[in-house]
Amino acid sequence: MSCCFSLSCLQSVLLLVSLSLFAFYKWATSTFDFFAKRNIPFDEPIPLLGNLGEIVFRKGTLFHIIRKLYTKYKKQRYFGRFNLRSPFFTITDLELIKRIGVKDFLNFPNHSIIIDPEDEPLFGRSLFMLKDQEWKDMRATLSPAFTGNKLRQMLPLISKCCHNGCDYLKEGAARDGQVDMDINEFFIKFTIDMIATTAFGVEVNSLKDKDNEFYKISKGVVQNSFLTTMRMLLAVVCPKLMRFLGISVIDKKLTTYFRSLVLDTIKYRAEKGIIRPDMINLLMQAQQGNVNPEEPEHDSNHGFAAVEESHFGLRSVNCKWSDEDIVAQCFLFFAAGFGTTSLVLSFCAYEIMANPDVQRKLNAEIDTTRKNLNGKPIIYEELQKMKYLDMVISEVLRKWAPLGATERICTKSYQIENEDTGETVKIEAGDTIEFPIAGLHYDPEYWSDPEKFDPERFNDENRQKIKSFTYLPFGIGPRNCIGSRFALMVMKTIVYHLLSEFTLEKSTKTEIPLVLAPAGFQHSSKGGFWMTVKPREI
Protein backbone atom coordinates (compact mmCIF):
# COMPACT_ATOMS: atom_id res chain seq x y z
CA MET A 1 0.00 0.00 0.00
CA SER A 2 2.77 2.44 0.98
CA CYS A 3 4.57 1.65 -2.26
CA CYS A 4 1.48 2.50 -4.31
CA PHE A 5 0.99 5.68 -2.31
CA SER A 6 4.60 6.74 -2.91
CA LEU A 7 4.28 6.05 -6.63
CA SER A 8 1.10 8.08 -6.76
CA CYS A 9 2.81 10.99 -4.98
CA LEU A 10 5.75 10.81 -7.39
CA GLN A 11 3.41 10.87 -10.38
CA SER A 12 1.62 13.90 -8.94
CA VAL A 13 4.92 15.72 -8.39
CA LEU A 14 6.11 14.91 -11.91
CA LEU A 15 2.80 16.10 -13.33
CA LEU A 16 3.00 19.34 -11.35
CA VAL A 17 6.59 19.93 -12.45
CA SER A 18 5.71 19.20 -16.08
CA LEU A 19 2.74 21.58 -15.98
CA SER A 20 4.89 24.25 -14.34
CA LEU A 21 7.62 23.89 -16.95
CA PHE A 22 5.05 23.98 -19.75
CA ALA A 23 3.46 27.12 -18.27
CA PHE A 24 6.89 28.73 -17.92
CA TYR A 25 7.77 27.85 -21.51
CA LYS A 26 4.50 29.31 -22.81
CA TRP A 27 5.12 32.50 -20.84
CA ALA A 28 8.78 32.69 -21.93
CA THR A 29 7.84 32.39 -25.62
CA SER A 30 4.45 34.15 -25.57
CA THR A 31 5.76 37.22 -27.43
CA PHE A 32 7.82 35.40 -30.03
CA ASP A 33 5.16 35.61 -32.77
CA PHE A 34 5.21 39.42 -32.57
CA PHE A 35 7.23 40.08 -35.73
CA ALA A 36 6.01 37.03 -37.68
CA LYS A 37 2.44 38.34 -37.49
CA ARG A 38 3.62 41.67 -38.90
CA ASN A 39 5.75 40.18 -41.68
CA ILE A 40 8.89 41.77 -40.25
CA PRO A 41 12.24 39.91 -40.63
CA PHE A 42 13.87 38.70 -37.41
CA ASP A 43 16.24 36.03 -36.08
CA GLU A 44 14.72 33.07 -34.27
CA PRO A 45 14.81 33.80 -30.52
CA ILE A 46 15.74 31.48 -27.64
CA PRO A 47 13.02 30.92 -25.01
CA LEU A 48 13.20 33.65 -22.34
CA LEU A 49 16.57 34.92 -23.64
CA GLY A 50 15.35 36.18 -27.00
CA ASN A 51 18.34 37.23 -29.12
CA LEU A 52 20.60 37.72 -26.09
CA GLY A 53 21.75 34.11 -25.85
CA GLU A 54 25.30 35.02 -26.88
CA ILE A 55 25.59 37.31 -23.86
CA VAL A 56 24.20 34.81 -21.35
CA PHE A 57 26.34 31.95 -22.75
CA ARG A 58 29.41 34.24 -22.87
CA LYS A 59 29.87 34.05 -26.62
CA GLY A 60 29.38 37.70 -27.51
CA THR A 61 28.38 41.17 -26.37
CA LEU A 62 25.43 43.39 -27.21
CA PHE A 63 27.89 45.25 -29.45
CA HIS A 64 28.43 42.02 -31.43
CA ILE A 65 24.72 41.20 -31.60
CA ILE A 66 23.65 44.63 -32.86
CA ARG A 67 26.38 44.71 -35.53
CA LYS A 68 25.60 41.19 -36.74
CA LEU A 69 21.84 41.73 -37.00
CA TYR A 70 22.23 45.17 -38.57
CA THR A 71 24.59 43.78 -41.25
CA LYS A 72 22.14 40.96 -42.00
CA TYR A 73 19.05 43.16 -42.29
CA LYS A 74 20.40 46.61 -43.23
CA LYS A 75 18.66 46.57 -46.62
CA GLN A 76 15.37 46.60 -44.73
CA ARG A 77 14.07 49.84 -43.24
CA TYR A 78 13.61 47.97 -39.97
CA PHE A 79 13.84 44.49 -38.50
CA GLY A 80 12.90 42.72 -35.29
CA ARG A 81 15.07 41.87 -32.29
CA PHE A 82 14.04 40.24 -29.01
CA ASN A 83 15.55 41.78 -25.90
CA LEU A 84 14.76 38.78 -23.69
CA ARG A 85 10.96 38.48 -24.16
CA SER A 86 10.56 42.09 -25.30
CA PRO A 87 10.25 42.72 -29.06
CA PHE A 88 12.26 45.72 -30.32
CA PHE A 89 11.64 47.37 -33.70
CA THR A 90 15.23 48.08 -34.84
CA ILE A 91 15.34 51.02 -37.27
CA THR A 92 18.02 51.08 -39.99
CA ASP A 93 16.69 53.69 -42.44
CA LEU A 94 18.27 57.11 -41.82
CA GLU A 95 15.19 59.12 -42.71
CA LEU A 96 13.10 56.95 -40.41
CA ILE A 97 15.68 57.36 -37.63
CA LYS A 98 15.39 61.12 -38.04
CA ARG A 99 11.58 61.05 -38.01
CA ILE A 100 11.25 58.87 -34.93
CA GLY A 101 14.21 60.25 -32.96
CA VAL A 102 13.72 63.96 -33.62
CA LYS A 103 10.74 65.09 -35.68
CA ASP A 104 8.16 62.82 -34.06
CA PHE A 105 9.90 62.65 -30.68
CA LEU A 106 6.64 63.25 -28.79
CA ASN A 107 5.46 59.82 -29.96
CA PHE A 108 8.60 58.26 -28.44
CA PRO A 109 9.58 60.44 -25.46
CA ASN A 110 10.58 57.82 -22.89
CA HIS A 111 12.99 54.94 -22.37
CA SER A 112 11.45 51.49 -22.27
CA ILE A 113 13.34 50.39 -19.15
CA ILE A 114 11.38 51.61 -16.16
CA ILE A 115 12.32 50.83 -12.57
CA ASP A 116 9.69 51.45 -9.88
CA PRO A 117 10.99 54.29 -7.64
CA GLU A 118 9.25 52.65 -4.69
CA ASP A 119 11.58 49.67 -5.09
CA GLU A 120 14.71 51.45 -6.35
CA PRO A 121 14.65 55.19 -5.57
CA LEU A 122 18.23 55.78 -6.77
CA PHE A 123 17.37 54.46 -10.22
CA GLY A 124 13.65 55.11 -10.35
CA ARG A 125 13.89 58.86 -9.63
CA SER A 126 16.87 59.47 -11.91
CA LEU A 127 16.66 61.45 -15.14
CA PHE A 128 17.09 58.29 -17.23
CA MET A 129 14.01 56.63 -15.73
CA LEU A 130 11.70 59.64 -15.41
CA LYS A 131 8.87 59.97 -17.90
CA ASP A 132 6.97 62.72 -19.72
CA GLN A 133 6.55 65.97 -17.74
CA GLU A 134 8.74 64.88 -14.82
CA TRP A 135 11.53 64.08 -17.27
CA LYS A 136 11.12 67.48 -19.00
CA ASP A 137 11.29 69.32 -15.68
CA MET A 138 14.33 67.40 -14.46
CA ARG A 139 16.10 67.79 -17.81
CA ALA A 140 15.55 71.55 -17.65
CA THR A 141 16.83 71.56 -14.05
CA LEU A 142 20.06 69.72 -14.89
CA SER A 143 20.84 71.31 -18.27
CA PRO A 144 22.54 74.42 -16.81
CA ALA A 145 25.17 72.14 -15.26
CA PHE A 146 26.50 71.30 -18.72
CA THR A 147 26.67 74.72 -20.38
CA GLY A 148 30.01 76.16 -21.40
CA ASN A 149 30.09 78.51 -18.40
CA LYS A 150 29.61 75.68 -15.88
CA LEU A 151 32.11 73.44 -17.67
CA ARG A 152 34.74 76.18 -17.51
CA GLN A 153 34.24 76.34 -13.75
CA MET A 154 34.57 72.56 -13.35
CA LEU A 155 37.70 72.21 -15.51
CA PRO A 156 40.14 73.03 -12.65
CA LEU A 157 38.57 70.24 -10.55
CA ILE A 158 39.15 67.77 -13.38
CA SER A 159 42.67 69.05 -14.05
CA LYS A 160 43.56 68.43 -10.41
CA CYS A 161 42.56 64.76 -10.81
CA CYS A 162 44.71 64.64 -13.97
CA HIS A 163 47.71 66.05 -12.10
CA ASN A 164 47.25 63.44 -9.37
CA GLY A 165 47.21 60.72 -12.03
CA CYS A 166 50.35 62.03 -13.74
CA ASP A 167 52.15 62.30 -10.39
CA TYR A 168 51.30 58.66 -9.69
CA LEU A 169 52.76 57.59 -13.06
CA LYS A 170 55.88 59.70 -12.50
CA GLU A 171 56.52 57.96 -9.21
CA GLY A 172 56.22 54.55 -10.88
CA ALA A 173 58.48 55.58 -13.75
CA ALA A 174 61.08 57.03 -11.35
CA ARG A 175 61.63 53.55 -9.95
CA ASP A 176 61.77 51.52 -13.17
CA GLY A 177 62.05 54.09 -15.97
CA GLN A 178 58.58 53.11 -17.18
CA VAL A 179 55.27 51.68 -16.00
CA ASP A 180 53.82 48.50 -17.48
CA MET A 181 50.12 48.49 -16.69
CA ASP A 182 46.57 47.67 -17.67
CA ILE A 183 45.64 51.29 -18.20
CA ASN A 184 41.96 50.55 -17.59
CA GLU A 185 42.76 50.24 -13.87
CA PHE A 186 44.35 53.68 -13.99
CA PHE A 187 41.34 55.22 -15.73
CA ILE A 188 38.89 53.55 -13.33
CA LYS A 189 40.59 55.24 -10.37
CA PHE A 190 40.88 58.54 -12.23
CA THR A 191 37.18 58.47 -13.14
CA ILE A 192 36.16 57.63 -9.56
CA ASP A 193 38.14 60.64 -8.31
CA MET A 194 36.76 62.89 -11.05
CA ILE A 195 33.14 61.99 -10.30
CA ALA A 196 33.74 62.23 -6.56
CA THR A 197 34.86 65.86 -6.90
CA THR A 198 32.47 67.07 -9.65
CA ALA A 199 29.29 65.29 -8.53
CA PHE A 200 29.66 64.72 -4.80
CA GLY A 201 32.07 67.45 -3.73
CA VAL A 202 34.51 64.91 -2.27
CA GLU A 203 38.23 65.22 -2.98
CA VAL A 204 40.01 61.85 -2.99
CA ASN A 205 43.13 60.40 -4.60
CA SER A 206 42.33 56.74 -5.22
CA LEU A 207 45.65 56.06 -6.95
CA LYS A 208 47.54 56.78 -3.73
CA ASP A 209 44.87 56.09 -1.13
CA LYS A 210 43.14 52.85 -2.09
CA ASP A 211 41.46 52.66 1.28
CA ASN A 212 39.38 55.83 0.99
CA GLU A 213 35.72 55.06 1.54
CA PHE A 214 34.44 56.51 -1.74
CA TYR A 215 36.80 54.30 -3.74
CA LYS A 216 36.00 51.16 -1.77
CA ILE A 217 32.24 51.67 -2.22
CA SER A 218 32.63 52.54 -5.92
CA LYS A 219 34.92 49.58 -6.57
CA GLY A 220 32.20 47.32 -5.21
CA VAL A 221 29.90 48.60 -7.96
CA VAL A 222 32.51 47.79 -10.63
CA GLN A 223 33.20 44.30 -9.31
CA ASN A 224 29.49 43.51 -9.24
CA SER A 225 28.63 45.20 -12.55
CA PHE A 226 27.53 41.96 -14.24
CA LEU A 227 25.49 40.97 -11.18
CA THR A 228 23.98 44.46 -11.07
CA THR A 229 23.07 44.22 -14.77
CA MET A 230 21.38 40.86 -14.27
CA ARG A 231 19.48 42.20 -11.27
CA MET A 232 18.29 45.14 -13.35
CA LEU A 233 17.11 42.81 -16.12
CA LEU A 234 15.16 40.78 -13.57
CA ALA A 235 13.72 44.00 -12.12
CA VAL A 236 12.42 44.86 -15.59
CA VAL A 237 11.21 41.36 -16.54
CA CYS A 238 10.00 40.13 -13.12
CA PRO A 239 9.56 43.17 -10.83
CA LYS A 240 6.97 41.44 -8.62
CA LEU A 241 9.27 38.45 -8.08
CA MET A 242 12.17 40.76 -7.16
CA ARG A 243 9.91 42.59 -4.73
CA PHE A 244 8.66 39.32 -3.22
CA LEU A 245 12.20 38.00 -2.75
CA GLY A 246 13.41 41.33 -1.38
CA ILE A 247 16.22 41.60 -3.95
CA SER A 248 17.45 45.08 -4.85
CA VAL A 249 19.26 46.16 -8.00
CA ILE A 250 21.62 48.25 -5.89
CA ASP A 251 23.04 47.00 -2.63
CA LYS A 252 21.38 48.68 0.37
CA LYS A 253 24.78 49.57 1.81
CA LEU A 254 25.62 51.50 -1.35
CA THR A 255 22.24 53.26 -1.34
CA THR A 256 22.66 54.31 2.27
CA TYR A 257 26.21 55.55 1.69
CA PHE A 258 25.39 57.76 -1.31
CA ARG A 259 22.25 59.15 0.30
CA SER A 260 24.12 60.14 3.47
CA LEU A 261 27.02 61.57 1.47
CA VAL A 262 24.83 63.84 -0.64
CA LEU A 263 22.46 65.00 2.09
CA ASP A 264 25.20 65.54 4.66
CA THR A 265 27.18 67.58 2.12
CA ILE A 266 24.13 69.72 1.30
CA LYS A 267 23.46 70.35 4.98
CA TYR A 268 27.09 71.27 5.70
CA ARG A 269 27.32 73.66 2.74
CA ALA A 270 24.03 75.33 3.62
CA GLU A 271 25.20 75.88 7.20
CA LYS A 272 28.66 77.16 6.21
CA GLY A 273 27.61 79.08 3.09
CA ILE A 274 30.01 77.07 0.91
CA ILE A 275 29.71 77.43 -2.88
CA ARG A 276 31.59 75.00 -5.13
CA PRO A 277 31.30 74.55 -8.94
CA ASP A 278 29.87 71.02 -8.92
CA MET A 279 26.67 69.04 -9.34
CA ILE A 280 25.59 69.28 -5.71
CA ASN A 281 25.75 73.07 -5.82
CA LEU A 282 23.45 73.13 -8.86
CA LEU A 283 20.99 70.76 -7.20
CA MET A 284 20.98 72.89 -4.05
CA GLN A 285 20.04 75.83 -6.23
CA ALA A 286 17.30 73.73 -7.83
CA GLN A 287 15.81 72.90 -4.43
CA GLN A 288 15.69 76.62 -3.71
CA GLY A 289 14.20 77.43 -7.14
CA ASN A 290 17.25 79.44 -8.25
CA VAL A 291 18.13 77.63 -11.49
CA ASN A 292 17.49 79.50 -14.73
CA PRO A 293 18.14 78.31 -18.29
CA GLU A 294 21.13 79.69 -20.18
CA GLU A 295 21.09 80.57 -23.84
CA PRO A 296 22.73 77.88 -26.01
CA GLU A 297 26.19 78.75 -27.31
CA HIS A 298 25.70 78.11 -31.03
CA ASP A 299 29.10 79.52 -31.96
CA SER A 300 31.03 77.54 -29.36
CA ASN A 301 32.90 74.46 -30.55
CA HIS A 302 32.33 71.83 -27.89
CA GLY A 303 33.43 69.04 -30.23
CA PHE A 304 32.02 67.20 -33.23
CA ALA A 305 30.49 64.44 -31.08
CA ALA A 306 28.70 66.86 -28.73
CA VAL A 307 24.92 66.93 -28.97
CA GLU A 308 22.81 70.07 -28.85
CA GLU A 309 20.46 70.66 -25.94
CA SER A 310 16.78 70.66 -26.94
CA HIS A 311 14.19 73.25 -25.96
CA PHE A 312 13.13 70.98 -23.08
CA GLY A 313 16.36 71.87 -21.31
CA LEU A 314 16.13 75.60 -22.02
CA ARG A 315 13.22 76.75 -19.90
CA SER A 316 12.50 77.79 -16.33
CA VAL A 317 11.26 75.20 -13.87
CA ASN A 318 9.21 75.81 -10.77
CA CYS A 319 9.51 72.38 -9.17
CA LYS A 320 10.44 71.55 -5.60
CA TRP A 321 12.67 68.50 -5.79
CA SER A 322 12.76 66.08 -2.88
CA ASP A 323 15.88 64.75 -1.18
CA GLU A 324 15.41 61.47 -3.05
CA ASP A 325 15.32 63.34 -6.37
CA ILE A 326 18.58 65.12 -5.54
CA VAL A 327 20.37 61.93 -4.47
CA ALA A 328 19.09 60.06 -7.55
CA GLN A 329 20.61 62.58 -9.98
CA CYS A 330 24.00 62.46 -8.25
CA PHE A 331 23.92 58.69 -8.37
CA LEU A 332 22.97 58.71 -12.07
CA PHE A 333 25.93 60.98 -12.75
CA PHE A 334 28.10 58.36 -11.07
CA ALA A 335 26.48 55.26 -12.62
CA ALA A 336 26.22 56.63 -16.17
CA GLY A 337 29.61 58.32 -16.32
CA PHE A 338 31.80 55.98 -14.35
CA GLY A 339 31.91 52.78 -16.42
CA THR A 340 31.54 54.38 -19.85
CA THR A 341 34.12 57.14 -19.34
CA SER A 342 36.85 54.86 -17.99
CA LEU A 343 36.23 52.31 -20.74
CA VAL A 344 36.18 54.82 -23.62
CA LEU A 345 39.40 56.33 -22.26
CA SER A 346 40.95 52.86 -22.24
CA PHE A 347 39.99 52.30 -25.89
CA CYS A 348 41.35 55.78 -26.66
CA ALA A 349 44.71 55.02 -25.02
CA TYR A 350 44.87 51.71 -26.90
CA GLU A 351 44.29 53.37 -30.29
CA ILE A 352 46.86 56.08 -29.55
CA MET A 353 49.40 53.42 -28.53
CA ALA A 354 48.63 51.17 -31.52
CA ASN A 355 48.87 54.07 -34.03
CA PRO A 356 52.22 55.86 -33.53
CA ASP A 357 51.47 58.37 -36.31
CA VAL A 358 48.33 59.46 -34.44
CA GLN A 359 50.37 59.84 -31.22
CA ARG A 360 52.98 61.97 -32.99
CA LYS A 361 50.34 64.34 -34.37
CA LEU A 362 48.68 64.59 -30.97
CA ASN A 363 52.01 65.33 -29.30
CA ALA A 364 52.70 68.10 -31.80
CA GLU A 365 49.32 69.74 -31.18
CA ILE A 366 49.66 69.38 -27.40
CA ASP A 367 53.16 70.93 -27.47
CA THR A 368 51.84 73.88 -29.51
CA THR A 369 49.01 74.41 -27.01
CA ARG A 370 51.39 74.25 -24.06
CA LYS A 371 53.65 76.82 -25.74
CA ASN A 372 50.68 79.14 -26.29
CA LEU A 373 49.72 78.78 -22.62
CA ASN A 374 53.28 79.71 -21.58
CA GLY A 375 53.28 77.55 -18.47
CA LYS A 376 49.70 78.35 -17.45
CA PRO A 377 47.11 75.61 -16.78
CA ILE A 378 44.93 74.44 -19.66
CA ILE A 379 41.74 76.47 -20.02
CA TYR A 380 38.45 75.55 -21.64
CA GLU A 381 38.88 77.77 -24.69
CA GLU A 382 42.31 76.33 -25.55
CA LEU A 383 41.02 72.79 -25.11
CA GLN A 384 38.29 73.44 -27.67
CA LYS A 385 40.80 74.83 -30.19
CA MET A 386 42.64 71.50 -30.35
CA LYS A 387 41.21 70.16 -33.62
CA TYR A 388 43.26 66.99 -33.90
CA LEU A 389 42.46 65.99 -30.31
CA ASP A 390 38.78 66.38 -31.14
CA MET A 391 39.25 64.27 -34.28
CA VAL A 392 40.88 61.47 -32.24
CA ILE A 393 38.14 61.48 -29.58
CA SER A 394 35.44 61.57 -32.28
CA GLU A 395 36.94 58.53 -34.01
CA VAL A 396 37.27 56.65 -30.70
CA LEU A 397 33.56 57.27 -30.10
CA ARG A 398 32.73 56.01 -33.59
CA LYS A 399 34.73 52.82 -33.33
CA TRP A 400 34.05 52.16 -29.64
CA ALA A 401 30.70 53.85 -28.96
CA PRO A 402 29.69 53.34 -25.29
CA LEU A 403 26.31 51.87 -26.25
CA GLY A 404 25.52 49.33 -28.96
CA ALA A 405 22.00 50.75 -29.32
CA THR A 406 19.58 53.19 -27.72
CA GLU A 407 15.86 52.60 -27.32
CA ARG A 408 12.55 54.47 -26.94
CA ILE A 409 9.03 53.37 -26.08
CA CYS A 410 6.02 54.41 -28.14
CA THR A 411 3.34 56.41 -26.31
CA LYS A 412 1.07 57.23 -29.28
CA SER A 413 0.13 54.93 -32.14
CA TYR A 414 2.53 55.41 -35.06
CA GLN A 415 2.86 54.05 -38.59
CA ILE A 416 5.97 53.23 -40.59
CA GLU A 417 6.07 52.16 -44.22
CA ASN A 418 7.98 49.47 -46.09
CA GLU A 419 8.94 51.26 -49.33
CA ASP A 420 9.69 47.99 -51.13
CA THR A 421 6.38 46.25 -50.44
CA GLY A 422 4.15 49.25 -49.80
CA GLU A 423 3.00 47.63 -46.55
CA THR A 424 2.36 49.73 -43.45
CA VAL A 425 3.34 48.58 -39.99
CA LYS A 426 1.63 50.02 -36.96
CA ILE A 427 3.68 50.65 -33.82
CA GLU A 428 1.29 50.64 -30.88
CA ALA A 429 1.62 52.47 -27.57
CA GLY A 430 3.85 50.34 -25.37
CA ASP A 431 5.94 48.97 -28.26
CA THR A 432 9.70 49.60 -28.21
CA ILE A 433 11.95 50.85 -31.01
CA GLU A 434 15.74 51.07 -31.03
CA PHE A 435 18.48 52.75 -33.05
CA PRO A 436 21.42 50.36 -33.82
CA ILE A 437 24.40 52.61 -33.05
CA ALA A 438 27.03 49.87 -33.40
CA GLY A 439 25.64 48.86 -36.79
CA LEU A 440 25.53 52.41 -38.14
CA HIS A 441 29.07 53.18 -36.94
CA TYR A 442 30.51 50.17 -38.79
CA ASP A 443 28.47 50.40 -41.99
CA PRO A 444 30.95 50.52 -44.93
CA GLU A 445 28.33 52.47 -46.90
CA TYR A 446 28.88 55.40 -44.54
CA TRP A 447 32.44 54.76 -43.27
CA SER A 448 35.15 53.46 -45.60
CA ASP A 449 37.19 50.65 -44.03
CA PRO A 450 35.22 50.95 -40.75
CA GLU A 451 37.54 48.62 -38.81
CA LYS A 452 40.41 51.06 -39.32
CA PHE A 453 41.11 53.76 -36.72
CA ASP A 454 41.28 56.93 -38.80
CA PRO A 455 40.83 60.34 -37.12
CA GLU A 456 41.01 62.03 -40.54
CA ARG A 457 37.36 61.05 -41.04
CA PHE A 458 36.64 64.05 -38.81
CA ASN A 459 38.93 66.69 -40.32
CA ASP A 460 37.39 69.95 -41.53
CA GLU A 461 36.81 68.64 -45.05
CA ASN A 462 35.61 65.11 -44.33
CA ARG A 463 33.25 65.91 -41.48
CA GLN A 464 31.11 67.88 -43.91
CA LYS A 465 30.55 64.64 -45.86
CA ILE A 466 29.33 62.58 -42.88
CA LYS A 467 25.68 61.70 -43.34
CA SER A 468 23.34 62.86 -40.61
CA PHE A 469 22.25 60.15 -38.16
CA THR A 470 25.07 57.76 -39.05
CA TYR A 471 27.06 58.98 -36.04
CA LEU A 472 25.24 58.69 -32.70
CA PRO A 473 27.78 58.13 -29.88
CA PHE A 474 25.64 60.10 -27.41
CA GLY A 475 22.22 59.10 -28.70
CA ILE A 476 19.68 61.07 -30.67
CA GLY A 477 17.07 63.78 -30.30
CA PRO A 478 15.86 65.54 -27.13
CA ARG A 479 16.53 62.42 -25.05
CA ASN A 480 20.22 62.30 -25.96
CA CYS A 481 22.99 62.15 -23.35
CA ILE A 482 22.79 65.33 -21.29
CA GLY A 483 26.43 65.00 -20.30
CA SER A 484 28.04 64.77 -23.76
CA ARG A 485 29.92 68.07 -23.45
CA PHE A 486 31.11 67.19 -19.97
CA ALA A 487 32.29 63.73 -21.08
CA LEU A 488 34.19 65.21 -24.03
CA MET A 489 35.86 67.79 -21.79
CA VAL A 490 36.93 65.08 -19.32
CA MET A 491 38.37 62.83 -22.04
CA LYS A 492 40.20 65.66 -23.77
CA THR A 493 41.64 66.97 -20.50
CA ILE A 494 43.11 63.65 -19.34
CA VAL A 495 44.53 62.89 -22.82
CA TYR A 496 46.07 66.37 -22.91
CA HIS A 497 47.74 65.93 -19.51
CA LEU A 498 48.76 62.31 -20.10
CA LEU A 499 50.44 62.90 -23.47
CA SER A 500 52.03 66.14 -22.26
CA GLU A 501 54.28 64.05 -20.02
CA PHE A 502 54.21 60.45 -21.28
CA THR A 503 54.28 58.27 -24.36
CA LEU A 504 52.18 55.12 -24.72
CA GLU A 505 53.97 52.07 -26.17
CA LYS A 506 53.38 48.36 -26.62
CA SER A 507 54.30 46.10 -23.71
CA THR A 508 54.97 42.36 -23.68
CA LYS A 509 51.30 41.83 -22.71
CA THR A 510 49.81 44.08 -25.38
CA GLU A 511 47.45 42.36 -27.80
CA ILE A 512 47.24 43.89 -31.28
CA PRO A 513 44.70 43.74 -32.74
CA LEU A 514 42.50 44.13 -29.70
CA VAL A 515 39.97 41.32 -29.17
CA LEU A 516 36.67 42.11 -27.48
CA ALA A 517 35.69 40.12 -24.39
CA PRO A 518 33.12 37.49 -25.43
CA ALA A 519 30.41 38.45 -22.95
CA GLY A 520 28.65 41.38 -21.38
CA PHE A 521 26.26 44.19 -22.16
CA GLN A 522 29.18 46.62 -22.41
CA HIS A 523 32.11 45.74 -24.65
CA SER A 524 35.66 45.59 -23.29
CA SER A 525 39.04 44.09 -24.18
CA LYS A 526 39.42 40.36 -23.62
CA GLY A 527 43.07 40.63 -22.59
CA GLY A 528 42.89 44.00 -20.84
CA PHE A 529 44.44 47.26 -22.04
CA TRP A 530 48.09 46.51 -21.33
CA MET A 531 50.74 49.01 -22.40
CA THR A 532 53.98 50.67 -21.33
CA VAL A 533 53.84 54.27 -20.11
CA LYS A 534 57.14 56.14 -20.43
CA PRO A 535 58.06 59.73 -19.51
CA ARG A 536 58.38 61.91 -22.60
CA GLU A 537 61.73 63.30 -23.60
CA ILE A 538 60.90 66.91 -24.36
Alpha carbons 497 and 519: distance in angstroms, whole number: 33
The per-residue DSSP string of 111-131 comes to -S----TTT-HHHHTSTTT--
238 among annotated binding-site residues = no
Rounded to an integer, what is the distance from CA 526 to the centroid of its chain? Answer: 19
- 3-state SS, 12-79, equals HHHHHHHHHHHHHHHHHCCCCCCCHHHCCCECCCECCCECCHHHHCCCEEHHHHHHHHHHHHCCCCEE
Alpha carbons 488 and 309: distance in angstroms, whole number: 15
Alpha carbons 403 and 481: distance in angstroms, whole number: 11
Element (H, E) at 409: strand 406-409
Q: Are 110 and 411 in contact (CB under 8 A)?
A: yes
Q: Cα angle at 26 between 22 and 32, to 5 degrees?
A: 150
Q: Are 163 and 497 in contact (CB under 8 A)?
A: yes
Q: Are 476 and 101 in contact (CB under 8 A)?
A: yes
CA nearest neighbour of 395 among 448, 434, 436 = 448
Alpha carbons 342 and 378: distance in angstroms, whole number: 21
Decide: residue 464, CB within 10 A, 0-12 exposed, 13-18 middle, 19+ buried: exposed
Binding annotation for heme: 481
Q: Annotated binding site: which residue ranges?
A: 481
